[in-house]
Amino acid sequence: MNIEAYISSGILEQYAMGELSGSEKAEVEQLCNSHAEINAELALITYTMDTLAMKTAVQPDEALKEQIKAKLNLNKPETTEKRMPLEQPSRPFSYAVAASISVALLASGLAFYFYSQWQTAENQLEKLVAQNQEVADDYQFVNQRLKNLETDVEILGNPNYARVAMNGTENSPESLATVYWNASTQAVYLKIQNLQKLSEEEQYQLWAIVDGVPVDMGVFDHGSNLLKMKSTASAAAFAVTIEPRGGSQNPSLETMQVVGTTKV
């Protein structure tokens, strides 16, 4: 059977509210015995309803208690006293019983109290742990972004990097991307200003034109970060084409999106 669907049908709530017929009731009880998950859910539901009742309590009139005790024959201590004297020997024992019961009740009260205190504390702790984790994750994320930005800024501001603007071709006049190239360390970075979105099967590929020949500089997807590309010692121009995902050996020049020369 589908336990999830059974639970979410709301039948356990009906059971807890005492609304089911004999056979439906028996079925729920049987399923509770065979499926721990259903049993746990029912316990949670009754606990919720019990707690609702406890939290929305309304104090009855003081007098009502005495009326109820009278109906239960509970408030006639004198009459029992009068009947008791002949049974003197048994009294120490009943005192002992009474005392132990008082102790038991006191202990019960205290245990209930501590249990609820402990439950509250545990709930709060769990919430705090979860919050803490959330804050730590956020921090981690922000920190990573900051590091990336720091690297970006360092490269953008470094005079050793030549800035090569690649403008849109006829294929895509709006497109724009920039290569940052350090000829002495041969490092090449790419920043996308504006490139169109590609399908899942396609990827952009950067090319350096070295001695009139296109050299692969690596493939990339759409992104806002500065991208580290392959290195090159010399290049007359850089260009970006659209290639099948993974890149090509030779550029499909007809798909060229942007191009820019290194020397004016």
Residues that bind another protein (CB under 8 A): 8-11, 13-14, 16-19, 29, 44-61, 64-65, 67-69, 71-72, 74, 101-102, 104-105, 107-108, 111-112, 115, 118, 120, 123, 126
Encoded tokens for 256: 């060229």
E strand spans, the chain: 162-168, 176-181, 188-194, 202-210, 213-220, 227-229, 237-244, 258-261
Name the residue nearer to another protein (CB basis): 104 or 146.
104
- Nearest CA to 2 out of 26, 30, 35 is that of 35
In one-letter notation, the amino acid at residue 200 is: E
Name the residue nearer to another protein (CB basis): 55 or 263.
55
Name the residue nearer to another protein (CB basis): 64 or 253.
64
Burial group, residue 198, by CB count within 10 angstroms (0-12, 13-18, 19+)? middle
CB 85, min distance to another protein, A? 20
Name the residue nearer to another protein (CB basis): 13 or 27.
13
CB 81, min distance to another protein, A? 14
CB 178, min distance to another protein, A? 50
Is 240 in contact with 195 (CB distance < 8 Å)? yes
CB 28, min distance to another protein, A? 11
Name the residue nearer to another protein (CB basis): 87 or 200.
87
- Nearest CA to 153 out of 206, 221, 225, 220 is that of 225
In three state form, how does the secondary structure of 64-121 look?
HHHHHHHHCCCCCHHHHHHHCHHHHHHHHHHHHHHHHHHHHHHHHHHHHHHHHHHHHH
CB 169, min distance to another protein, A? 55
Burial group, residue 190, by CB count within 10 angstroms (0-12, 13-18, 19+)? buried
CB 75, min distance to another protein, A? 8
Name the residue nearer to another protein (CB basis): 67 or 167.
67
- Nearest CA to 188 out of 253, 238, 120, 153 is that of 238
Name the residue nearer to another protein (CB basis): 76 or 222.
76
Q: How many helices (H) and strands (E) does the chain have?
A: 7, 8
